[in-house]
Amino acid sequence: MTLNLVPFVSVDHMMKLVLRLGVEQVMIDLAAEIEADFRRWPKFDKTPRIASHSDVGVIELMPTSDGETYGFKYVNGHPANMKQGLQTVTAFGLLADVATGYPLLLSEMTILTALRTAATSAMAAKWLAPEGSTTMALIGNGAQAEFQALGFKAVCGITEVRLYDIDPEATAKCVRNLAGRGLNVTACRTAEEAILGSQIITTVTADKQYATILTDNMVGAGVHINGVGGDCPGKTELHRDILLRSSIFVEYPPQTRIEGEIQQLAPDHPVTELWQVMSGEAPGRTRADQVTLFDSVGFAIEDFSALRYVRSKLAETGLCENLDMIADPDDPRDLFGMILRAA
């Protein structure tokens, strides 16, 4: 293949790749890839995502590089889209060779973002959740819900999921999609009911507002909270008092302090970077009664890991097409002459 031909993974390719490999196997593989890259965290260029905010949503670029490969993701977040029959989140991503600047892969990332978000959640819970956790409350049963449930089953061994959403149709959809996948699924009428008996609480709601999905009295000692939905300025899910009594773990503090639950706290409120727990530089869960919170906002390294994983599976699956994206004049100095070749 010449350098001007770039593998492209379409939505159809991605769906077939996930089904061919198996959803849960992809979750396990992605969690391992992301953890491996977290363990070499200092090697990466890091910056908070570049965001363009509006009253109705946000459009973002998420770049990073490990010095050999560069990657970025374009992603939006528009909660009101659902009312128009559109996706709340859409995305695509690219990998490039640092040595030449030439692209190596162009891929859809709407599906891949859902997969890597769930894989990251489960990876964090593997380090932070109570040992032997079997039950998770899943509050918010929209597009991300099934991915979270299956990710926690595959990576953490969760066997029961308790569902709640303000829209009963969303919960019914989730129950249908999880049927026959080895989980005991319970539809609950309230968030309080969903939390009963749960060692892990995942919140994954979409509204762009300061919301209180969990109040302090709902959270008992020893639980692990996976806060996914609070992921941009002005968008939170947890009452501030929960944060004040939790051990808080984050991806990249300069980004999380802008976008995560901790935007409610003082800029110097102590947090622990998850990569430090994995590398043994900081403790994770140290007490049975400790409330741990993974304040997840999504970071570019996770997308980088996911794109590299997809690229590694192309030879095995053949699920891509090659795009002619880069001009290739016979003489690199004669780009105009290349145009004339088309005459």
Q: Which residue has the higher pLDDT, 75 or 230?
A: 75
C-alpha count within 13 angstroms, C-beta hemisphere, residue 66: 16
Contacts of 34 by beta carbon, 8 Å cutoff, 6+ apart: 116, 119, 120, 123, 301, 302, 305, 306
216/221 Cα distance (integer angstroms): 11
pLDDT band of residue 342 (cuts 50, 70, 90) is confident
244/206 Cα distance (integer angstroms): 23
Q: Considering the entire predicted model, what is its pTM?
A: 0.94
Contacts of 248 by beta carbon, 8 Å cutoff, 6+ apart: 261, 262, 269, 270, 271, 272, 293, 295
CATH number at 118-298: 3.40.50.720
Looking at 29, 37, 165, 231, which residue is catalytic?
A: 231
Q: What is the mean pLDDT of the chain?
A: 94
Residue range 258-273: mean pLDDT, rounded: 94
Q: Does residue 57 sit in helix, strand or coil?
A: coil
pLDDT at residue 241 is higher than 50: yes
Q: Is 231 a catalytic residue?
A: yes
Domain residue ranges of the chain, discontinuous segments joined by +? 5-111+301-341, 118-298
Convert the pLDDT of each residue in 95-104 to its tens digit. Answer: 999 999 999 9
What percent of the chain stands above pLDDT 70?
A: 97
CA angle, 232 then 234 then 240, to 5°: 105
Signed CA dihedral, 138, 144, 150, 155: sign only = negative
pLDDT at residue 1 is higher than 50: no
CATH number at 5-111+301-341: 3.30.1780.10
Convert the pLDDT of each residue in 197-221 to its tens digit. Answer: 999 999 998 666 667 888 888 999 9
Residue range 57-82: mean pLDDT, rounded: 94
